[in-house]
Structure 1
């Protein structure tokens, strides 16, 4: 507070503990204080110079000012001396101050139309409080009293700065929160909120209250007080909330920013994305004849989002990846520049538990074809677009299959649950417990792919996925160089029927006189022929499937 500032005589009387200001008026007349006369409603009054007051009164005035600025929650005006000290003005406070200025300006304008200020102020107040005059401001500010109106106009006329009409709220900074919770209560509560076992907010509140009761704390706040604090804490400490409750992966997925890729720079066939998906329905294993859950290993074109090649894997066999790549190259009509696939260790752990992924000679396949291999970060599903494709595949195709068995124990269909005789009978009546073969499954998948490829392309919405895929410039590819990518079996022995595979006979004149062991390579997409190799790896021939003639009576 400045030495040249004048203080109202009634304020000083209050600080001195006097019932009236009469003794102060007498002191002024005797020259004890430096004072000035001011006009007030009903006459005149005095203001005393701050520097002429007793030291203890000056100290009390300073304390009053500090308390008013830092702790007051009233809507009184901000002292003009503290305008420049306010570092932050909320938008709501600014709009309130500007609305008050409009009221002051309107009152000043009305005073020019009447002989006395008293008459003008009374008429203005009645009109304003009725809501008919300045209706928008009245809706925002509300009704006011004559004292409030005079305080606003006096403050504004002295300074002509809208900031003097700012409401004197206590402004909290980002992250601050006014609560009756003590620091001890907060510490106990936060321990439960951030626990990795993910206590619910309600349970965390009850446990906190129980601990406080055991410690003998009295006047424990209501449950709603804790709940509001929890909501505030989560909003202002979201990163800590996710990291401690859900772990690092959730932190990376929900909190950290991610890199956005510009797909417009890609062309069809530039990048293929590889991954595996365990089918959520049963098929007939062609090797055993028994129902089983197979694995689909697929290659998705990133630009068109079309599944350009896949292979059905009945058992752990890394050659399935090579065979799926072969089908992708044949269907696409070109060799891709980059293959983006799951992390090597993660892919091995997910689909190949009993064979060494790094010792199968697979790493050199991409290099021989001039393909660059890029591996995704572990546990980063956001980086693989094919995950989104498999989700659509699950919802639109797998759930339509009669042999669908669900994605997990919790999500299996009703007919598979214990005691559901009605659903089992209905399922048997509707499907006859039908389970497709591999060849039938391939036909079903191809039909669904035709439907899927008719949808608008996500990376080129003006055309369909199929139209985008057909934009690729075909290459002349020698299929013979892709034969090494075909599926490979164990050693087979040539007999009088030729080579027997999957219950079918394959013959060729080149092996008619042989009774030796050979290797064969095949593709489940075309079982009309197989490629025969000697045990030393020499190509012998292409054996054709022998068509079995029906018996004639």
Structure 2
């Protein structure tokens, strides 16, 4: 929508003459408000507000019919005053309806900049009824109605209610109410369980026949069908359902447990994104087969810094969302997201996520990859260069004979059940990829300004990280996105079966106490290759259950205090046996005394003592540098140590104080805080 239109733009529209001369003559006769037109051709432009009503309606309809998702008018913050549940706790159906309604609300807000809100609503309703909406908006209307009937048009009352809910509660106010499962216990349940929960483990059919016979004789009410009985049994957790069919010992196989381990281990203005199929073969961590991973990267155009990346099987929507989540969580919120027209970027899911984050997405022209050379070039300087370091490189410049030999050897070893020696494991590839991206961010870039290196005193180009730090030194600060929205962005997922509060992924076990009632059921496990210490468990409907931790149910085989007491007892016994042996040899009572290692039977002269103290000071270890652990659990424990030192009145070093103040703003801090709080409640 524009506020000024030329006579050429208006000619032929409803309510105005069909020629440019006719439009100018009528505008002069009626005294339309006008201004000089800028650019080639000159002439005059007429204000939208003075045009006839039918002309205004035609201009609005043309704008809405060609509308695409753009940046929102203002950023709304989710308010939990109405519903304490976060957007990440919505299932897939609620999430789709909420985002569809949000898109329609955003469209009304954009139209309200030119016309009144009521007129914008009426225009949108008329276009929906006549079928003149853009395909994107037409799909959102169907989703937003949340009905199974064929009539899914808009109404003025409904749109005004959505606007009021959005302004009062944010996007969560647009989510439909959750339909909760009926968990009430029927009157016949106890009687049926008497026949079903028996150690003979009768089938549902056998137990139902006995229950039906007695129920018909004793009660005059209608007996429930076997299908109703089966539906009710499915609502029960495995432990409750099998109680009585299993003894207390056997029933423990369905309950959570603690594993015993003998070792105690201690375990941060335009974005351009694109995907690239890696030019070397890698072992798939999920299937063990050979594949070529798809790497999606996002580069910051201003500083040339790689701000986010993901590894997936193909350039899919999940890969785009995972890359966005990685970039937004580590580097802050973007303003414009510049991508191509691939299926991984040009889809409704990415548009919805962009609307939630409050950014603007724009696409390059088809078959015009040169427009995104800022991301195409790093594919060669980073990914192709990295692929050539592996024996499994299969690029166009690879020798065909050598490539054939490697291909046959790897397939032969795989068929024999051996690990291919010429194809790297995924962990090796992923570590090398991270190192290559870090090296790129710290290497001088020809596209960045030159400065004088303080070490060599020579001029050179800035590196991407130096350009980023330079902007921060000038007063720029990243705008952090809402942690709840970032947390709800979709990660790559796999389906897994719950076994005693454990889920398996990548040959590791992850524990979550909230899975207690889901033993044997299928769940969706979201993972992050950058952080193998945890996974995110969702129901099959998409609702987040919680974070499962790696070996979260592990505990020490024996407490440290018991081991210390056992060691002291053993020492006393050995000393007692030595005394008895000495008494047997000498025939006399013997006293044995332990001399501490720090004691000395002689004293040094003052000169030698001073010289020894001087050498001791020279040999004393220097103060350790402040190191930040790589994993979130270690970071949280380090922060708690620093926080206790601050509360005790101790002064921190500048590096410790800076990190202590900044890390609580990261999304990992809130996740770790909730996790440790749940663990303390479970122990209590």
TM-score by length of 1: 0.43
Larger Rg: 1
TM-score by length of 2: 0.35
